[in-house]
Amino acid sequence: MNHATHMLFVSTMDRVNTLERQVRDDYYRYLLEQGDDSDTYDAYMARYARFARFGQAATLASIDSLRRLSGTPMPNSLVDFYLKEGSFDGGGYLSDLVIHAAPELVAKAQSGATGWNCIRSIGLVDMIILSWGGHRMEFDPASGEGLTEAEVLVLNQNYSVIGWHTSGDGEAFDYLYFDTQGRFGITGFHQDDFESFYAQDLLPMTRKSPACLSLDEALAAMLRSAEAATQQDDEDSD
């Protein structure tokens, strides 16, 4: 992550974390006024506050394990991000933006992992399924409702997802991925419009990669779109 991108993240974190603290402070004062002092302030904040933050730096061992879950070579810029920033959690004001930590993704693929929160790889289709709670029939060839086995194989082998954010009141996701050439891209899926997603994004991606961004460009774009999606959802709920 270059200096300009890092400072964009820092300034955005400062802004949204100030909002989060103000909201949590106001509600804690309200609880005290109602006679609810079951939590100390620190305990209340630890339990409920969701602050945007970078994670812990990854180890080379965890990055190497993550490489084995990717059908595409991992770009050096992403390795550098994992070694320095580790991951990113957008907290409560950035549309659940997350750049996943390498150890967390590796843990989801371990042999003992079961249930909705596990993956076979960090390939595009496998990660889309993970984001939707472990099942989307459109991405399961056995359902006959969407992708074929051949399409799933190509999409998983040629694109690896490292993060996402929600939009549309949680009915859509934007996914940050990298391709076999080390380029980054963003693609979005709304749960009610698989047909357009397939025709405009997935099918063309089986033939040629549309990725054209550096990691810094992609991270900045994801951060801006996540904040814009939060603002739009807030306006729609008013």
**Do the domain assignments include residue 23?**
no
Q: What is the CATH number for 180?
A: 3.40.1580.10
**Do the domain assignments include residue 36?**
no
Structural domain boundaries, residue 60: 52-237
CA 215 to chain centroid: 14
* Residue length of the chain: 238
Query: Exposed, middle or buried: residue 176 (CB in 10 Å: 0-12, 13-18, 19+)?
Result: buried
For the stretch 217-232, pLDDT in tens is 999 999 999 999 888 7
**Do the domain assignments include residue 125?**
yes
For the stretch 148-205, pLDDT in tens is 999 999 999 999 999 999 998 889 999 999 999 999 999 999 999 999 999 999 999 9
Mean pLDDT of the chain: 94
**Is a pLDDT exceeding 80 seen at residue 235?**
no
Instruction: Count Cα neighbours of 235 within 13 Å in the Cβ-side half-sphere.
Output: 8
**Do the domain assignments include residue 171?**
yes
What pairs with residue 187 in β-bridges?
175
For the stretch 38-63, pLDDT in tens is 999 999 999 999 999 999 999 999 99
For the stretch 75-133, pLDDT in tens is 999 999 999 999 999 998 999 999 999 999 999 998 666 677 889 999 999 999 999 98
**Do the domain assignments include residue 32?**
no
Tell me, what amino acid is at 60?
L
**Is a pLDDT exceeding 60 seen at residue 238?**
no
Confidence (pLDDT) at 236: 64
**Do the domain assignments include residue 174?**
yes
- Total number of domains constituting the chain: 1
**Do the domain assignments include residue 154?**
yes
